[in-house]
Structure 1
Amino acid sequence: MSSYRAVAAELLRHAPWSARAWQATAHVLVGGVVGVVTGGVVFALALATAVLAVTVVFALGTVFALYACVYAFAALQRSRFEVFLGERIPAPATHPYDGWSQRLVGEARSEALWRHLAYHIFALVVGGAGAIVVALTWAGGLLLATAPLHGWLLADDPAGPLALAGATVAGLVLVFAAPWLARGFAAVDLLAGRALLGPSSRAELALRVASLARSRADLVAAADAERRRIERDLHDGMQQRLVSLAMNLGLARASFPDAPDPLREAIARSHDDAKLALSELRDVVRGLYPAVLDNLGLDAALSGVVARSPVPARLRVDLPERPPVAIEAVAYFVVSEALANVAKHSFASRVEVTVQLTEGGDKLRVVVADDGRGGARPERGTGLRGLAQRVASVDGTLDIDSPDGGPTTIVVELPCGS
């Protein structure tokens, strides 16, 4: 019994007097008119372009008119879906062009343009045919369903009761079938609209990847900005107070040579502890974000890192211009971490650091090579793993060549093109 009720409820939901029936019918009928008009205009412009191709100048005018009409008509069709079916189809991403020649070639290669053009042809043929079928079904159904009225009034020899009854039944069948036809054509139209008027799956994936890349770049930039803020706060606040404390303790240590031994020893220990704390704080500040990197650039910042390296190191930097700030920061920390690993694990006698642009100029290459015992593996410690994560945060690549027995070469390439 419940199945019969479900079938009856579904029939009533698609009954001729339901809102769904009128929405689907209006969508198909309006779509038929719009499809015939827009498809006809697009076809006429395409034909004119082909005919005028020998003139070049006039053909260019029709080509750009065709481009404009294809996109404008696609926007009109998307608004039709939203008005009648409540379906919002997003527009595909547009590509800016520098001049008319780039637009001419770029649009001809655009996947979106050809997909829109395919939909306009679909709307012209299938949409127009669907509108005719639905309109005839509704008109024929209403005409036959009301046959008992106009049959008696208009015919000189009224049809027999049986014929009128048969016409009425056929009309009611058509009236109840019309909403289903309209819904079917609307569903097919919706499938075509989603496939041809919106962004393709490949374009959506590209947009998502670009969005994730922008989000990640924003996070990296925000983290660098926060490190710079903490570095300034420590440098201008705690570090200055420690400097003042160390100076005062040094003055006290020099000013009271005749003080009791326990007091002089306490002052001396405090002075040494203050200097040690100041040195450690400077290392922390330098590790957060070196101010020299912002002020003087990567060459000066790396010069300081190499000068502090326990292993003798040679630096060569060849950069015609400064890379982006985030790339500079990653390159700085890559060299810092690599030199720290060399000092801790490699037993090397020398290190060479090279920083330069690749041949194409779109990547910054950092090479750190030592003559140590080798065997460096990211899975063996957190240093190289953290270095790999930092490089990956800006879509860079990390290559480690470190056979057992050495030598070790770390090559990092960071994108720095615009």
Structure 2
Amino acid sequence: MPQIKIPATYMRGGTSKGVFFKLSDLPEAARQPGVARDQLLLRVMGSPDPYEKQIDGMGAATSSTSKTVIASKSASPEHDVDYLFGQVSIDKPFVDWSGNCGNLSAAVGPFAITNGLVDPARIPDNGVVEVRIWQVNIHKTIVSRVPIVNGEVQETGDFELDGVTFPAVEIPVAFMDPADGEGAIFPTGNLVDELEVPGVGTLKATMINAGIPTVFINAADIGYTGAELQDAINSDNKALAMFETIRAYGALRMGLIGDVNDAGNRQHTPKVAFVAPSADYVSSSGKNVQAADIDLVVRALSMGKLHHAMMGTAAVAIAAAAAIEGTLVSLAAGGGKRNEVTFGHPSGSLRVGAEANLIEGRWHIEQAVMSRSARVLMEGFVKVPGDSF
């Protein structure tokens, strides 16, 4: 079979990058959810790859770079664009549609504007356009403020984001009502639970649905300082197995799966993160992170490996948990009421904001806000063998 070509854009958003498609540009068989769509995206990214390199595809063999986005003009008058995110497994024939990517959310607005998914009448010659995005995976609204210069998306600038080598333009992104599900921020009803994990022990855990379902535990309870870099975790198979076990039992306790053995079919969610009070450390780029400049340290795992920086959706979870007194995140940050927090991650630090309110006995987060950046890396076509889906 000859190869077919599909219009696509390769974009960085925050500390992630992925292949972006317009829904209408996909082959007809892949325009709806199902096996054909999954097989197409797996082949585009070069998965499943037993070598875990994705050499024969667009992926770059990390959870941050094995990502796909499908965008379309929104049918809702309240939104400009519908955004569907697919996390493509590297070594398994699996695309996880269970959650969002907060980092790539920053690239959706620019992609939508450039590809005609936003009403041209709303785009100024110079200024900022507010793009209202419907996140299809979790049924939530994201509002992105995209700078425009001479009628086109501005991409270059001097905004620096730890985890990204070069500066670019700042894009503020607001995640509206970021709780998963029907507003159940704490699916167990508790700010802190005793999570029993066979082979590990009973751990204090804050399990939260905000941005993305996340299980927070104390670094000290599992023998870490919270200032670890990737190699300290990702080169330790025993540690990775421990974190996967914690994730599986956290997923079960949060009601995300019905049986602990189902966790392997839900790789993208929940995330596991460990927290500790602020500390001095040297980031992966050699930057000195000072304890006085941050409120706490956080390390998070994505798709079974320690993330090189911080997932955008997990940053939303951190902001939400920090805003609610009594969670492990709030306690690690020193306790007290706050509407923003600066945390240290392996690549540096990040400031995120959220405001929490207790309404009729349930916690509610109106929005969580952070600044990211985005840039087009390549645009044109991807090619896949015609019999691959």
More helix by share: 1
TM-score scaled by length of structure 1:
0.17
Q: Which has the higher contact order (CA 8 A, sep 6+)?
A: 2
Task: Flag the structure with larger Rg.
Answer: 1
Q: Which has the higher strand share?
A: 2
